[in-house]
Amino acid sequence: MRHAADPKRLARELLGREFETLEQDEQKVLEHLASDRMMWLDADEAGQAHASAGDRLADRVAAVGGSWGFITAFGIVLIAWVLINSPVVEALGLKPFDRYPFIFLNLMLSMLAAVQAPIIMMSQNRQAAKDRIAARHDYEVNLRAQLEIIRLTHKIDRLVKAVCKDGADA
């Protein structure tokens, strides 16, 4: 199956519009259609291709920080902190390092939240960018399918006219 090699001609034949009046996405699809190139783009691969080390770290922190394993482990650490610094431990002759109202624990939690929240937001922003890439890809695939259907419809119309013309001659 060979397409016309000129995207400008395809724009006129398939869409009835000039190539220059089309949106950039439509032009890109017509160029791909004209060259017979496939447009395979995976959003995750595209996102990873441009990801810095900080971006990848943010994704890992968000994956760990947003997991039940992290919540469970963090809960255990908090309970252990409170138990180690409770009056019961003091009664056993040990000296707590952060007595009630756990000021040092509050400081640690505040610092964790201050660092973790922006990192998770960076990861969410990257995910939003991946979603935009996926949406653009879906749009391009749908547009290409639409153009292929229009092209095939034109071809079928020409064949029907040719068959009808030959039938009328017989």
Residues whose CB falls within 8 Å of the CB of residue 124, separated by 6 or more in sequence, listed in order = 62
Which of 19-23, 36-40, 119-123, 157-161 bottoms out in mean pLDDT, i.e. has the lowest?
36-40
Please determine, for residue 38, whether its predicted confidence score (pLDDT) is greater than 80.
no
**Mapping DSSP to helix (H, G, I), strand (E, B) and coil, where does residue 18 land?**
coil
Please determine, for residue 36, whether its predicted confidence score (pLDDT) is greater than 70.
no
The C-alpha angle 45, 47, 49, rounded to 5 degrees, equals 65
pLDDT band at 46, cuts 50/70/90?
low
Mean pLDDT (the chain, rounded): 84
Among candidate residues 67, 1, 64, 5, the one with its CA nearest the CA of residue 32: 5
> What one-character DSSP code corresponds to residue 15?
I
| Stated pTM of the model | 0.60
Say what percent of the chain tops pLDDT 70. Answer: 88
Q: For 66-83, how does the pLDDT look when each residue is reduced to its tens digit (9 = 90+)?
A: 899 999 999 999 999 999
CB atoms within 10 A of CB 147: 20
pLDDT band at 26, cuts 50/70/90?
confident
Q: What is the pLDDT of residue 23?
A: 84
Torsion sign (Cα): 104, 109, 114, 119: positive
Q: Locate the domains of the chain by residue range.
A: 39-169
Alpha helix positions (H), the chain: 7-10, 24-35, 43-49, 53-65, 68-84, 87-91, 103-169
Please determine, for residue 44, whether its predicted confidence score (pLDDT) is greater than 60.
yes
Whole-angstrom distance, CA of residue 136 vs CA of residue 138: 5
pLDDT band at 3, cuts 50/70/90?
very low
> What one-character DSSP code corresponds to residue 17?
S
